[in-house]
Structure 1
Amino acid sequence: MSNSSYLVVGLGNPGPTYEFTRHNVGFWAVADLADRHGSSFSLSSRQRAEVAGVTLHGPAPVKLILAKPTTFMNDSGAAVKAVASFHKIPADHVIVIHDELDLDAGRLRVKVGGGDNGHNGLKSIRAHLGTGDFFRVRVGIGRPPGRQQAADYVLSKLKPAQLDELRVDAAVAADAVESLVQDGLTVTQNRFNG
C-alpha cells in the first residue's frame, strides 16, 4: 500500500449503556491504536465522530485518521462518509473494524469487500460510500448461545473475563490494521486470518 492516509473506523454505539458490549469492540481497537501512538480523540460534530490522528513511522510513514462514530451503529455510514469527505480519503483507503457473529470468539479475519452478513453498521457504510470495496477487520464474537437473539447478544453487558478476552482481541485487531497499512493485504491475511 502507498504511504498516504487511511481512515480507520471502529464500529460501536456511543454512550455508557453500550460501552462494555461485544458490539463496541471496534471502538476499543481504535482507542488502542490512539493510545499506543500517544494520541487522543476529539469530538467533531461536523464529522459526526470522535476523531484522532496518528502517524505510523516505518520505511514509509503512514497517517491514520481514527474515528469512533457518534451516530448509532445503524447510521455509521453517515459518520464514515463525513470523516472520509472531510479528510479526502477514498473508499479504498477506509478500514472498518467490527464485531463478527460468523467467526468464533478469538478469531480475526481481514478482507476487502464482501457482503454485510446482516451487520447494520456495514450496510449503512456501504449505502453512504456507494461501494462495499473497503477493508474490513472482522473480530470474531461467535454466535449467541441457545435461542438468544443476535441483537440481545451483541448488546448484552460482558462479564469481566469476557471483557478481558475481547480487549485482547481488540488489541490484535489494532495490530492487524498496522500490518495492513504497512505490509499490505496478503501479508496481513497470512499473518492474522485464523
Structure 2
Amino acid sequence: MHLIVGLGNIGKEYQGTRHNIGFETLDYLSDKKGITITKKEQSGVTGVYREAGQKIMLAKPTTYMNNSGQCVAGLMNFYDIPLENLLVIYDDIDLATGDVRIRQHGSAGTHNGMRSIISHLGNPEFSRIRIGIGRPRPGSELVHYVLGRFPKSEFPAIENAIMEAAKGVDIFVKDGIDLAMNRINVRKKIEKTAEKKTEEIQEKQE
C-alpha cells in the first residue's frame, strides 16, 4: 500500500488558505479517482483507490497542522506501510507561488506539520511534494500569511500546481520517486527557462 498525505487544517475557516494546499491537492485527486476521503481512522480521514495493481490510500490528518504526525505514524503502523511508500504534500514558503518540487527526503524547514511527522516517525527519509506559496512581505507575520487566502491573481498558478502535484503522485505510485522527480522537477525548469526567454524577447521588442 502507498500512503499519500495532504497537510492542512480541518474546518471551513481554513478552506482555501495557503496552509491547506495539501488538502486541496487530495480533494482534486479524490475527485479525479472517483472516491471520497471520509473514513475516520487514526486521527484522520482516509479514502482508498486501486491503480496499476497498487492500493493507494489518501489521508488528511484531522489533528490540525502541528500534530499531523500523530495521524501519519498511526496509519503507517496500523497498515504496516514501508517508509518508501509514504508521500506527503504540503505548502512551502521557500518556493515561488505555484512552483512544485518533489524530494526524496529532507528537513522540515519552517513547516510545523512536517516537523510533527518527522518527530513521530523518527526519520526524515520519506518522499514529499512541496507546493510553493511564496513569502510574506517583510514585516508581515508568517502565521497570518499562511492562514490567509490566495489572491485571485494567483488562482491560475495554484490550480496548475495542484494538477502538477497530482501528476507527481501518479508517477510516484507507478514508477517511483526518482522518475517523479525527474519528470516534474525537470518540466518546471524547462517552463521557467521558456518564460525567461519570452520575457527577454518582449523586452528587446519594446
TM-score (norm: length of structure 1): 0.90
Alpha-carbon shift at residue 168 of structure 1 (Å): 2.6
Provide the rounded CA distance (Å) in 1 between the counterparts of 2:153 and 2:17: 13
Q: How many residues end up aligned between the 2 structures? A: 186
Contact 2:7–2:90 (Cα < 8 Å) also in 1? yes
CA separation of 1:49/1:163 partners in 2, compared to 1, >3 Å: closer, same or farther? farther
Q: How does 1:39-78 map to 2 (within 5 A)?
A: 39-44=35-40, 46-57=41-52, 61-78=53-70
Contact 2:39–2:47 (Cα < 8 Å) also in 1? no
Matched residue type, 2:21: V
Alpha-carbon shift at residue 164 of structure 1 (Å): 4.6
Provide the rounded CA distance (Å) in 2 between the counterparts of 1:179 and 1:33: 13
2:110 alignment counterpart: 118
Q: Which structure 1 segments of 5+ residues have no match?
A: none
1:91 alignment counterpart: 83
Question: Larger relative CO (CA 8 A, sep 6+): 1 or 2?
Answer: 1
More helix by share: 2
Whose Rg is larger? 2
Matched residue type, 2:31: D
Matched residue type, 1:56: E
Per the alignment, in what secondary structure is the counterpart of residue 117 of structure 1?
coil
Q: Which structure 2 segments of 5+ residues have no match?
A: 189-206
Per the alignment, in what secondary structure is the counterpart of residue 14 of structure 2?
coil
- 1:46-105 deviations in Å (ceiling 9; x for gaps): 411110001123xxx221110011011000000111122222212221100000111111
1:189 alignment counterpart: 181
The share of aligned pairs that are identical, in percent, is: 37
Q: Give the alignment partner of residue 104 of structure 1, picking from 96, 102, 107.
A: 96
Matched residue type, 1:74: N
Q: Give the alignment partner of residue 10 of structure 1, picking from 6, 9, 23.
A: 6
RMSD: 1.4
Per the alignment, in what secondary structure is the counterpart of residue 97 of structure 1?
strand
Deviating more after overlay: 175-184 vs 20-29: 175-184
1:159 alignment counterpart: 151
Deviating more after overlay: 141-150 vs 67-76: 141-150
Provide the rounded CA distance (Å) in 2 between the counterparts of 1:151 and 1:184: 34
Contact 2:127–2:177 (Cα < 8 Å) also in 1? no
Asked if 1:141 corresponds to 2:141, the answer is no
Alpha-carbon shift at residue 142 of structure 1 (Å): 1.2
